[in-house]
Structure 1
Amino acid sequence: MSQYQIAVLVGSLRKDSLNQKLATGLTRLAPPGFSFTQVQIADLPLYNQDNDDHPAAAIVRMKDGIKAADGLLFVSPEYNRSIPGVLKNALDCGSRPTGQSAWAGKPAGIIGVSTGAIGTAMAQQHLRNVLSYLDVAVMRQPEAYLQMREGMFDPDGNIGAGSRAYLQNWMDKYVAWIQKNTG
């Protein structure tokens, strides 16, 4: 059985982040052979091209984690109809200097949850645009724009019964996407 290492990037820094809960619960739906490691992005300095020749230790650590991964999982809220600044900064830091992108060629999935009616639809579209430019192979279907509802998570942090079948289907498609696009 193959072992797949997945780098998880959560676009929220909030202590009680819904997207952090989603990332944790969702990864529990993956089959054996898949392991998930959250890539820390909270301590990244703001991207500055002047520092390309001498990147901060946090940037080197993040890029090493991305390079070591077989695939990527982005779990993010929507801020002002786009991706959070902390996530955009991570994408910029990981893609530079030119020709040394850690993202290129990686398969990825995008998902997110918010309290709004359209979930994270706009953020996901913006993220798809950026990832396309960075040569990341993003899973196209199924899309998942989740609105936070009572019971989405159980008290132990698992995906709740009412959302489990839908999110298990999403995870099964994600697993197949990673398997198809690695190696």
Structure 2
Amino acid sequence: MSVRILALVGSLRAGSTNRQLAEAAVKVAPEGSEVALFEGLADIPFYNEDLDVEGSVPAAAAKLREAAQAADAFLLFSPEYNGTIPAVLKNAIDWLSRPYGAGAFAGKPAAVVGTAFGQFGGVWAQDEARKAVGIAGAKVIEDLKLSIPGSLTRFAETHPADDAEVAAQLTEVVARLHGHAGETVAA
């Protein structure tokens, strides 16, 4: 059975180490799964219920919802901005939490990972992202974590996919998320 995991990256920066981590996840996806990196979070307007009207949802938000509806699981990559979740990632979660009770996250497995410059690798932001995506309806896999500290130095000359330790840890995360998604799809 094929499993589609939608990757959402909370950094818009071209050289983002979290984007590189997501690219690595695409490469290490086990057979039978696909990690699809969503492009376009920068184009989605801030969530506003006045914009979220059937038939006139902004195209960028509709594209995100369509990709999320087609996904079997979610893998969020969160850096830490001032001790919390980046606005672009929170905005995506807000759009996907609607319509109330029928959002795209409903009952689907989700994991949050990431890297940050600080000594804890962005754990505060990742914890906040887990909380938000869980409230939005996802089945958060709480013990599925990967927080990589010192991103600017660790990945200054090495892509995360070429860091053997990171690649192994990320492979385990994606494989375990794949397993949870497979259980949900089969149920």
Instruction: Flag whether TM exceeds 0.5 (same fold).
Output: yes
Matched, 1:7 2:11: no
Cα deviation code 1:17-66 (max 9, x no counterpart): 00000001122112111112222311001111112212111111110110
The equivalent of 1:74 in structure 2 is 76
Correspondence for 1:34:
33
Whichever residue aligns with residue 160 of structure 1, its letter is D
Superposed displacement of residue 154, structure 1: 4.0
CA deviation vs aligned residue, 1:103-131 (integer Å, no higher than 9, x gap) = 21111111000111010100111111111
Q: What is the root-mean-square deviation of aligned Cα atoms in Å?
A: 1.9
Query: Residue 171 of structure 2 corresponds to which residue in structure 1?
Result: 168
Q: Aligned residue for 2:154? A: 150
Q: Percent identity?
A: 33
Contact map agreement 1:151 1:161 (CA 8 A) in 2: no
Please tell me the residue identity of whatever aligns with 1:175.
Answer: H
TM-score for both structures, normalised by structure 1: 0.89
Tell me whether 1:180 sits opposite 2:180 in the alignment: no
Measured after TM superposition, the shift of residue 167 of structure 1 is 2.9
Query: C-alpha separation between the residues in 1 aligned to 2:36 and 2:81?
Result: 24
Which stretch of the first structure deviates more once superposed, 122-131 or 96-105? 96-105
Give secondary structure in 2 for the equivalent of 1:139. Answer: strand
Which 10-residue stretch deviates more, 162-171 or 4-13? 162-171
Q: 1:128 to 1:27 in 2, by over 3 A?
A: same
1:98-137 residue pairs with structure 2 within 5 A?
98-137=100-139
TM-score by length of 2: 0.87
- Counterpart of 2:12, as a letter, is L
Q: Which amino acid aligns with 1:43?
A: D
Distance 1:153 1:170 in 2: 24
Q: Which residue of structure 2 aligns with residue 89 of structure 1?
A: 91
Query: CA separation of 1:38/1:151 partners in 2, compared to 1, >3 Å: closer, same or farther?
Result: closer
Whole-angstrom CA distance in 1 between matches of 2:156 and 2:185: 31
TM-superposed CA distance for 1:151, in Å, is 5.6
- Assess, with a 3 A threshold, how the Cα gap between structure 1 residues 170 and 99 changes in structure 2: closer, same or farther: closer
Most deviating of 89-98 and 71-80? 89-98
In structure 2, distance between residues paired with 1:42 and 1:142: 27
How many residues get paired? 181
Higher helix share: 2
> What CA distance in whole angstroms lies between the structure 1 residues aligned with 2:30 and 2:81?
31
The Cα offsets for residues 53-101 of structure 1, whole Å up to 9 and x where unpaired, read as 1211111111011001111110111111111001111111222232341
Cα distance in 2 for partners of 1:46, 1:105 equals 24
Name the SS of the counterpart of 2:111 in structure 1.
strand
CA distance in 1, matches of 2:118, 2:86: 15
Displacement after TM superposition at 1:152 (Å):
8.4
Mind listing any 5+ residue stretches in structure 1 that lack a counterpart? none
- Unaligned runs of 5+ residues in structure 2 are none
